[in-house]
C-alpha cells in the first residue's frame, strides 16, 4: 500500500464530547459526498479537488425555481471530464431497469428542434426524430443551462414520468431501457363535473378544478339550474370565456331547440375547439303538440317523427320550425310570419279531408225480397253493412245501384233468413 500524503491522522476527527455544539467537518469542504449550495452557479464553481463522480449537491434557493433540486455528478453523462458541469443531472433514486416511478420536472413541449430563444431552466422532451445539437439525444430531456450556454440532457429510466405543459390532461411515462424504450402517453382527469347557473341563454360555472382553458379531450358532465329558452345558448367555465353550445343533428351542428336543456338532467358536453357539443339534448315531446310556435322558439322534428296538426300551424314572432321528418296540417295551412322560418329537410303535407256522411236505420225485412233504401247521401262512393240487432252481419243476395240513381240503394235479401230488426248502415 502506498504511503498517504498530507496531514495524516490515525483516528477519526470527532468532537471531544457528542454534546459539543460544533461540527467536526463542513460538507462543502470535503471531497465528494453530499454538499449544499443556495444557487446553481455556486454548484458549478466547486473546485476539482472537491469533486467526485456520484457526489450529490442540493440547490435550495436559486432565483430560478426549477433549478432548486438535487443533482448528481454522473460519470460519462456527457464525457469523462470531472470539471465539466454538463455532467450534472437531476438526481433520481431509480436504477436502470427498475419498474419504480420517478417524476421529472415539467417540460414545455415535445420538440425535435432546439429552441433558439430558450431561457435558463427551460426544459423540453426531445422528439423521436431530432436535429441540430439534439441529434443523438432523441427521447431525452433537454434543459437549457445559461451558465454554460449549452443544453444539459437527462436520460430517462424505466418508469420516469413527466408532464408536458402544452398537452392537456396527460402524462408521459418512459417504458423500457434507453434508447430502445419509448414515451407512452397516458390520459388523466378526462371527465369533470359541474353545475351551471344561468338564465336560459347564458350559463356560468366556477367550480371545475384544474381547468384553465377549454381542451378538446375533456368530457364535462353537467346540470343546469334553468331550462334553455331559445336557440342561442353559451357557457363560461372558470371565467375562461363564453363558448356556444350546439347539438349534432343528423351529422350537422345546429343551434339548440327550446327546452333542449332541462332542469335535473345530467348532460355530456365535449369541446370541439369552437363549440361545446351537447351530446344528449332533451327532445321536448310537447313540441309535437303545439299549434302556435311563439317568439324565439325553435322546434325540431327529427327523422322518423311526425308533427301532426289539425287546422292551421302558425309560426309567430322570430320562431323557427326545422323539419327532418314529416309535418302534416290536416284541413289547414302553414302560416309563416314575416320574421319566422320553416326549414324543411323532410316532407310537408296539407291534406284536405271531407267529413263522412252516414245513414243508419232499422227495418224488418222479409227474406227473398228486394228493397230500396232511400239514404239521400248524395254519393255513389259508399260503404254499406246489414246487421242484426246484435251487430252481426246478415247474408245478402246482393246489392245494386240502378243506373245513375244515387238513392235509393237496392238491397237483395236471401230467402230463409230472419231480417227482423235489421240495421242498415250506409257511409258515403
> Where is average pLDDT lowest: 35-49, 132-146, 152-166?
152-166
- Of 262, 264, 294, 293, nearest in space to 278 by CA: 262
Q: In angstroms, rounded to a whole number, what is the distance separating the alpha carbons of residues 218 and 18?
A: 60
111 in any annotated domain: yes
Q: 237 and 219 share a domain?
A: yes
Which of 42, 63, 90 is where one domain is finished?
90
19 in any annotated domain: no
> Where is average pLDDT lowest: 116-130, 173-187, 407-421?
407-421
- Of 67, 263, 49, nearest in space to 152 by CA: 67
Q: 168 and 196 share a domain?
A: no
Which of 187, 205, 227 is where one domain is finished?
187
Indicate the average pLDDT of the chain. Answer: 80
- For the chain, the domain total comes to 5
Q: 81 and 110 share a domain?
A: no
Question: Do 291 and 310 form a contact (C-beta atoms < 8 A)?
Answer: no
Question: Do 411 and 396 form a contact (C-beta atoms < 8 A)?
Answer: yes
21 in any annotated domain: no
Q: How confident is the model at residue 286 (pLDDT cuts 50, 70, 90)?
A: very low
Please check the confidence at residue 8 and state whether its pLDDT lies above 80.
no
Looking only at the bridges linking them, the beta strands covering 252-254 and 298-301 are: unpaired
Query: Is this structure's pTM higher than 0.75?
Result: no
The pLDDT score that the predictor gives to residue 110 is 95
Which of 70, 90, 110 is where one domain is finished?
90
210 in any annotated domain: yes
Q: 386 and 420 share a domain?
A: yes
Q: What is the pLDDT of residues 357-397, one digit of tens each?
A: 566 666 676 766 666 666 666 555 555 566 665 556 666 55
Q: 344 and 308 share a domain?
A: yes
Question: Do 227 and 259 form a contact (C-beta atoms < 8 A)?
Answer: yes
Cell 425555481 locates to 65
Q: What is the pLDDT of residues 254-280, one digit of tens each?
A: 888 777 898 888 999 999 989 999 987
Q: 177 and 201 share a domain?
A: no
Per the structure, the complete domain to which residue 169 belongs is given by 102-187
Q: 133 and 66 share a domain?
A: no
Amino acid at each position: 500500500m502506498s504511503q498517504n500524503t498530507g496531514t495524516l491522522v490515525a483516528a477519526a476527527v470527532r468532537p471531544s464530547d457528542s454534546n459539543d455544539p460544533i461540527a467536526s467537518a463542513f460538507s462543502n469542504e470535503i471531497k465528494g459526498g453530499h454538499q449544499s449550495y443556495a444557487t446553481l452557479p455556486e454548484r458549478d464553481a466547486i473546485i476539482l479537488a472537491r469533486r467526485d463522480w456520484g457526489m450529490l449537491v442540493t440547490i435550495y434557493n436559486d432565483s430560478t425555481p426549477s433549478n432548486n433540486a438535487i443533482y448528481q455528478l454522473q460519470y460519462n453523462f456527457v464525457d469523462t471530464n470531472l470539471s465539466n458541469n454538463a455532467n450534472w443531472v437531476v438526481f433520481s433514486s431509480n436504477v436502470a431497469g427498475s419498474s419504480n416511478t420517478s417524476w421529472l420536472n415539467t417540460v414545455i413541449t415535445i420538440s425535435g428542434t432546439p429552441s433558439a430563444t430558450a431561457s435558463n431552466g427551460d426544459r423540453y422532451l426531445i422528439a423521436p426524430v431530432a436535429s441540430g445539437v439534439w441529434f443523438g439525444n432523441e427521447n431525452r430531456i433537454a434543459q437549457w443551462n445559461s451558465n454554460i450556454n449549452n443544453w444539459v440532457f437527462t436520460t430517462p429510466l424505466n418508469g420516469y414520468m413527466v408532464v408536458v405543459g402544452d398537452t392537456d390532461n396527460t402524462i408521459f411515462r418512459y417504458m423500457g431501457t434507453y434508447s430502445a424504450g419509448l414515451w407512452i402517453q397516458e390520459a388523466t382527469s378526462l371527465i369533470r363535473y359541474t353545475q351551471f347557473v344561468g338564465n336560459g341563454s347564458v350559463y356560468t360555472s366556477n367550480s371545475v378544478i384544474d381547468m384553465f382553458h377549454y381542451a378538446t379531450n375533456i368530457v364535462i358532465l353537467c346540470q343546469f339550474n334553468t331550462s334553455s329558452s331559445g336557440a342561442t345558448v353559451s357557457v363560461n367555465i372558470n371565467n375562461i370565456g363564453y363558448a356556444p353550445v350546439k347539438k349534432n343533428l343528423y351529422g350537422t351542428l345546429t343551434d339548440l331547440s327550446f327546452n333542449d336543456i332541462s332542469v335535473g338532467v345530467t348532460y355530456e358536453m365535449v369541446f370541439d375547439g369552437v363549440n361545446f357539443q351537447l351530446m344528449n339534448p332533451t327532445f321536448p315531446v310537447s313540441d309535437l303538440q303545439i299549434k302556435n310556435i311563439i317568439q324565439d322558439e325553435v322546434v325540431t322534428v327529427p327523422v322518423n317523427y311526425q308533427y301532426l296538426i289539425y287546422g292551421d300551424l302558425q309560426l309567430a314572432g322570430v320562431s323557427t320550425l326545422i323539419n327532418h321528418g314529416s309535418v302534416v296540417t290536416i284541413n289547414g295551412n302553414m302560416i309563416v310570419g314575416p320574421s319566422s322560418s320553416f326549414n324543411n329537410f323532410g316532407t310537408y303535407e296539407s291534406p284536405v279531408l271531407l267529413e263522412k256522411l252516414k245513414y243508419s236505420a232499422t227495418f224488418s225485412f222479409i227474406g227473398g225480397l228486394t228493397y230500396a233504401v232511400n239514404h239521400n247521401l248524395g254519393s255513389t262512393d259508399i260503404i254499406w253493412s246489414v246487421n242484426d240487432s246484435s251487430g252481426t252481419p246478415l247474408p245478402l243476395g246482393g246489392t245494386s245501384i240502378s243506373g245513375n240513381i244515387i238513392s235509393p240503394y237496392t238491397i237483395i235479401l236471401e230467402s230463409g233468413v230472419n231480417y227482423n230488426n235489421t240495421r242498415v248502415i250506409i257511409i258515403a
